[in-house]
Amino acid sequence: MTLRIRSFVFLALVAGTASACHKKPAAVTPAPQPPAPTSQPQTTQPTAPPVTVAPPSNTGMSDAERAAEVAKMKSTLTATIYFEYDRSDIRDDSRQILDSKVPVLQANTAVRIRVVGHTDERGSDEYNMALGQKRAATARAYLVNRGIAESRIDVVSFGESRPAMMGEGEASWSKNRRDEFEIVAGADQIRVQGR
C-alpha cells in the first residue's frame, strides 16, 4: 500500500472515530414555571363528611316505647268509672277519668267506644236495666259535651246481670255500680301523637 492510500485510510479512520465520539450537547430543560395567574383564584372544595341517615321516626320513640304508650292510651280509654247508690250523676273522681279519655279520642278519630252501664243487685231487673242505661248515657253526654262526636259512642246496659264482684254488702255493691268502656272500632289505628 502506498503512503498516500495509507494516509487517506488513516485520515478516514480518524475522521470516523472523531465523528463517532462527538456527542451532541444535551438539551437544556427549562425549569418549571408557576401556573399563569387566572382571573379567578383557584379554591379547593372541602370534602363533605359522609351522611348517615337515621331510620324515620315521627315521635323519637323506640318501637317498645311506642307500643307501651299505645297500651297506656288503650288503658285510659277502657278505664272504669263508678257511681253512688241509685245515682247516675258523674262523681268528681269519675270526671278526671272521663277527662283523660278526651285527648285520646280527639287524637284518634277512627276510634269508637261503647259505654256499658251496670248496677248492683238491689232493685228490680227493669229498674236496674234503666239505671244502667241512664249511667251509660250520662257518661256519653259528658264526653260529647267535650267535643267527642256522639256517633262514636255507643251505650248499652246490663243492669245487675254482670257483677264485677260477687257478694252482698257495700264492698261488693260499690264495685258493681259502674260504667265500663270498650273499644269497638279503631283499636289497631291508635297512634302516639306529637312526640
Asked if residue 13 is part of any domain, the answer here is: no
3-state secondary structure of 143: helix
Residue 62: the pLDDT is 86
Residue 93, domain member (yes or no): yes
173 or 25: which leads in pLDDT: 173
The greatest distance separating any two alpha carbons of the chain, rounded to the nearest whole angstrom, comes to 165
Task: Classify residue 41: in a domain, yes or no.
Answer: no
What is the number of domains present in the chain?
A: 1
- Contact in structure between 64 and 40 (CB atoms under 8 Å): no
Q: Give, in order, the Cα–Cα distances in Å from 165 to each of 172, 177, 191.
A: 5, 10, 34
Report, as an integer, the average pLDDT of 144-154. 97
Average pLDDT over residues 125-134: 97
User: Which CATH number does the domain housing residue 133 bear?
Assistant: 3.30.1330.60
| Helix/strand/coil for 116 | strand
Average of per-residue pLDDT across 153-167: 96
Amino acid at 45: Q
Q: Is residue 183 part of a domain?
A: yes
Say if 85 falls within a structural domain. yes
Higher-scoring residue by pLDDT: 162, 47: 162
Residue 195's pLDDT is 46
Measured distance CA(135)–CA(133) in Å, rounded: 5
Closest to 100 measured CA to CA, from 74, 124, 118, 119:
74
Rounded Cα gap, residues 143 and 130, in angstroms:
20
Question: What are the residues whose beta carbons fall under 8 Å from the beta carbon of 172, sequence distance 6 or more?
Answer: 120, 163, 165, 166
Say if residues 191 and 110 touch (Cβ distance below 8 Å). Answer: no
The reply to whether 28 falls in a domain is no
Is pLDDT at 44 greater than 50 in this prediction?
no
Strongest mean pLDDT among 14-18, 26-30, 41-45, 72-76: 72-76
The pLDDT value given to residue 33: 58
Reported as a single tens digit per residue, the pLDDT across 51-97 is 333 344 455 778 898 899 999 999 999 999 999 999 999 999 999 99
- pLDDT band at 155, cuts 50/70/90? very high
Domain assignment of residue 100, yes or no: yes
Residue 102: pLDDT band (50, 70, 90) is very high
Q: How many CB atoms lie within 10 A of CB 82?
A: 17
Instruction: Tell me: pLDDT of 12 over 70.
Output: no
**What is the domain extent for residue 161?**
63-189
C-alpha distances in angstroms, 48 versus 42, 43, 53, 55? 19, 15, 15, 21
132 belongs to a structural domain: yes
